[in-house]
Every structure is written in C-alpha cells, then in structure tokens.
Structure 1
Amino acid sequence: MQSVSQFKIIGCGNSESLRHFNNNALLCCTSGNLLIDCGHTAKLALHEQGYGWADIDAVYITHVHGDHVFGLERLAFESRFKLNTRPKLFLEPELENELWEQTLKGSLGNINGKSQVLADYFDVQFIQDHKFSFGGHHIHSIPVDHAPDKSAFGILIDNYLFYSGDTKAIPEVVNELNFEIGFHDASVAEISPVHAHFESLKSSYSVATCKKLYLMSYEDDWRLAAKDIDGTFAGLAEQGQVVTLP
C-alpha cells in the first residue's frame, strides 16, 4: 500500500496505439487501489508498473468501449477462480445494461452450465448522485461528451485532479470545475468526431486551464504536434506518470 495517495497513469494511448497501453489509470491509496478503466491491455500495463490483479481492490468504468472495459473479463475470471476475491465495481447505473448484457455476458454469463450475473464476479457499487468515495477521497463522476447516444463519464478527485475519460471538448463542464491538475482526452494527429483535438481544447478552454492539462489517449505519431503542444498545455501524459494527491 502507498504511504500517501497517488494517481498513476498506466496507459496513455488511444485504442489504435501500438506504442502505448490503453488509456487507463490507477488511484493508489493507503487502504487499497482503484483501477480507472480496464481495457484489453490492462493486465500487461499493470504488470509494467509492478502491479497485478491481486492489487486491484476496486474498478471504476468511464464508459463501455473495448479499450476501457475488455480487461474486465480477465479480471473477473482470475479474481474469482484464482484469487478468490470479488473486487468492487463502481458503476454509473446507466452503464449496467451496456456493460453486462451487451459486452461481458457472452463470456462471463455461463459457467459450467450455470447462469451468472455481474454481481457473481464484482461487488457492484452503483453510484448515486454522481458521487462516491474511495480511500478517503471524494470522487465526482462527471458526464462528458464522447459518442452520440453513449453514456460516458470523467472523474474529479477532491476538487484537485480532473480526469476526463474519452470526450470531446466540454467547456460547459470544465469551465465550472475547480481543479489543480487535469488529464484530458486529446487527439493530436487528426480530428476525430468523438475525441477532443488539442486545437479544440485551445479554443474552448482558457490559457490558464490549458496549462493545467496533460493530454492523454493520443496517437502514436504525437510528435507531429509536439511544437504546438509545448508551452500551451502541461504536456503529454506518460505511462508511469505519478501525481501525489494532497
């Protein structure tokens, strides 16, 4: 366990990246570890940072796309049948059907001829009023704007650290938040209809806000935009990057 709470980037790449793991993170507290998203590269990404499934006490899911949830199948199987544990799953209620019925049930829904439900693998903690706590930290689950007709969320920890998850620029949200450091979805190579582009962040957020933001979920050819990012944003998020929480 950590002696102080830390927020760690275990992956900073977009879904197509070959150089980086899926854009996932880890909140490490004195009382346990909260995995923020669990994409299909999560197991290896955690291993690279010195962690395994046995170190994961809870998971929070921002939205249901493979680079954010496909690792849950492996976590579910190994936790139940190898580790004999049932991690907490902090879940916005509106994600439940999409996560279980449309994503995980096909592989987890039947074990030796017996029907299973999500709660057989995880201690499901439905989030109420977009707020929950972990390790003594107050966490707000914040609706963001990712893909049409698809629920997606970011988080704000203790009014100190903002993590957007996948989203387009959301000035109506970000401009109302109080935070000291942020990690924001940003495409750097080409404009995407479902991800923010760094130029859209520059035009949507104040200079002061941009300087607090590390860009994440970027493409492998990020160097093409390096000169435009330097000095405008806090920088590019990096795998293994650590922020100590107050």
Structure 2
Amino acid sequence: MKLTFLGVSSALSVGYLKFHSNMLLETDSGKHILIDCGGDVRHAMFELGYTPKQIDAVFISHLHADHVGGLEWLGFSKFFMENIQLPLYIAPELKERLWNNVLSGGMSTLEYKEATLETFFQLEALDDNMSFTLDNHVFKLIKVPHSYSNNHLLPSYGLLIYGKQHKVFITTDTRFALEELSSVYQEADIIFHDCETSEHLSNQHSHYNQLITLSKEIKQKIWLYDYNDCQLPDALADGFLGFVTRGQQFEF
C-alpha cells in the first residue's frame, strides 16, 4: 500500500499549498481510499494530479470542516459525473450528524426528490471490532479524544491499518492521551501523529512539547503532521522520524 499526504497543515493554516491534513491511500490492487475530505481537498488533489474519478472510497474520522468540508463536492462529483454512490466508511454514531449537521443544507434537495446521505454515499458496515476490510487489508477505527461540546467528548477516530509488512496508526486529530493510546502506540510499527506547533496550546491537539515526552521507543516510530504555520523544531534531533511534507509518500 502507498500513502500520499495531500496536505499536512492545520485547519487554520492559510496560503498557497497550505492544504488540510487529508491523505490518499492506494491499495495493492490500485484502489484509492481518501482518508478525510477537508474543504480544500479538491485543490490538494488537483495539485498532485488526482481527480474524483480516481477515488474509490472515503473514510471520515470526525466532523470538523478540515475533515468533511469537501464531502459535498466529492459526493456531487461522483453522483452527477459518474452516477456513482461513493462507498463511505464512518463510525455509526457519526452518520446521522454528518447528514443533519454538515451536508443536508446543500445536498438534501434534488430536482425531483428529497435526497438523503444514502443518495450520494454507499454506507459501508463496520464489524463488531469497529473494523472494515478493503482489498484484504484490515482498517480498525481507534477512538481518540479530540474535542468536547458542553463537557461531552465528541466522537473522533484514528485508523490502525494492517499492511503487508507494517501496522500503521494514523491518529487523525487527537489530544495528547498517552494512557488511552499507549497500547496502539505499542502495536503500531509506524505512527503518523497529529502535532500542534504553535505557541498557543489549543488543547484540541497533541502539542510538540507534549509529544517529546514520549519514550524513545515510541518517538522513533513517529512522523509528525497537521502542524501550524511557524518555524518547526528539529524533530530528528528530538528522536522523531521527522515532519511529513505535502505530497510525501510512504509504502507499507
């Protein structure tokens, strides 16, 4: 499998090529699954030569705009240009809110009928372990602590991917949560980790100053992404694999 970072920037980054931290995973058979679909994904895909026709499925981790803001464009593109319902992998607890709170305002009305989420997307079932299988590879959803609403933790998920040679953990957006994620850190061979780098701590993401406290064993597995517009620290000197750059590819 090959993982391409369409973007590596935080949600609030601004400027040319400062794309959201969405990824494209290509399976061994050539299928492409989009891992999150932020508001600038169409531009991020275009810059790297990808089109909607190449997308075979999409996984959504949570409902912030830098992860779902491009779904209307992608759903409409597949529906109107290809007459296809795009396979969608998402936690069951997010489906209703994705439609009611995010997509219905722009997508619910077609000329001759009232549309639903299923009009544009083929909702794929997860098994009892919150996993799905694509091209004989298992993708396991890992619940991560990201944001709260009125003291209630909102659902958000990373992905643990079982490749041929390596187990890869993509945190998506997560707070620093060593106790909750320690077992996944241990199981994974490679980790792509959410990493805030701004002076201001949002408390919504893992900050670099928190991540450097991880053990040497864990840090040497970690690539950092989803960082802010600022001078980046020396990740290699601090024991990490480095900061991911836009367009960088990994095979596993």
For residue 108 of structure 2, what is the aligned residue in structure 1?
109
1:144 aligns with 2:144: yes
For residue 240 of structure 1, what is the aligned residue in structure 2?
247
Q: What percent of counterpart residues are identical? A: 31
For residue 76 of structure 2, what is the aligned residue in structure 1?
77
Q: Normalising to structure 1: TM-score of the pair? A: 0.92
For residue 172 of structure 2, what is the aligned residue in structure 1?
165
Q: How many residues align?
A: 238
Cα deviation, residue 54, structure 1: 0.3
For residue 28 of structure 1, what is the aligned residue in structure 2?
26
Q: Secondary structure at the match of 2:140?
A: strand
Alpha-carbon distance in structure 1 between the residues aligned to 2:198 and 2:90? 32
Alpha-carbon distance in structure 2 between the residues aligned to 1:22 and 1:106? 23
For residue 14 of structure 1, what is the aligned residue in structure 2?
10
For residue 154 of structure 1, what is the aligned residue in structure 2?
158
Alpha-carbon distance in structure 1 between the residues aligned to 2:236 and 2:13? 19
For residue 97 of structure 1, what is the aligned residue in structure 2?
96
Q: Secondary structure at the match of 1:110?
A: coil
Alpha-carbon distance in structure 1 between the residues aligned to 2:63 and 2:227? 19
Amino acid at match of 1:118: L
Q: 1:183 touches 1:215 (CA, 8 Å); kept in 2?
A: yes
Structure 2, unmatched stretches of 5+, are none
CA deviations over 1:55-102 (Å, ceiling 9, x no partner) = 000000000000000100000111111122221001100111221111
Q: Secondary structure at the match of 2:21?
A: coil
For residue 47 of structure 1, what is the aligned residue in structure 2?
46
1:201 aligns with 2:208: no
Cα deviation, residue 172, structure 1: 2.3
Alpha-carbon distance in structure 1 between the residues aligned to 2:81 and 2:123? 20
Q: 2:52 touches 2:74 (CA, 8 Å); kept in 1?
A: yes
Cα deviation, residue 188, structure 1: 0.8
Amino acid at match of 1:155: L
Alpha-carbon distance in structure 2 between the residues aligned to 1:67 and 1:230? 30
Q: 2:235 touches 2:242 (CA, 8 Å); kept in 1?
A: no
> Post-superposition, which runs of at least 4 consecutive aligned residues in structure 1 deviate over 4 A?
none
Alpha-carbon distance in structure 2 between the residues aligned to 1:185 and 1:227? 16
Cα deviation, residue 231, structure 1: 3.4
Structure 1, unmatched stretches of 5+, are none
Alpha-carbon distance in structure 2 between the residues aligned to 1:98 and 1:206? 37
Mean Cα deviation higher: 39-48 or 66-75: 39-48
Q: Secondary structure at the match of 2:212?
A: helix
Q: 1:31 touches 1:135 (CA, 8 Å); kept in 2?
A: no
Cα deviation, residue 113, structure 1: 5.2
Amino acid at match of 2:132: F
Cα deviation, residue 12, structure 1: 0.5
Q: Secondary structure at the match of 1:226?
A: coil
Alpha-carbon distance in structure 1 between the residues aligned to 2:24 and 2:234? 29
Q: Secondary structure at the match of 2:233?
A: helix
Cα deviation, residue 31, structure 1: 4.2
Alpha-carbon distance in structure 2 between the residues aligned to 1:193 and 1:71? 25
Q: Secondary structure at the match of 1:106?
A: helix
Q: Normalising to structure 2: TM-score of the pair? A: 0.90
1:186 aligns with 2:186: no
Cα deviation, residue 154, structure 1: 0.2
Q: Secondary structure at the match of 2:89?
A: strand
Alpha-carbon distance in structure 2 between the residues aligned to 1:236 and 1:31? 27
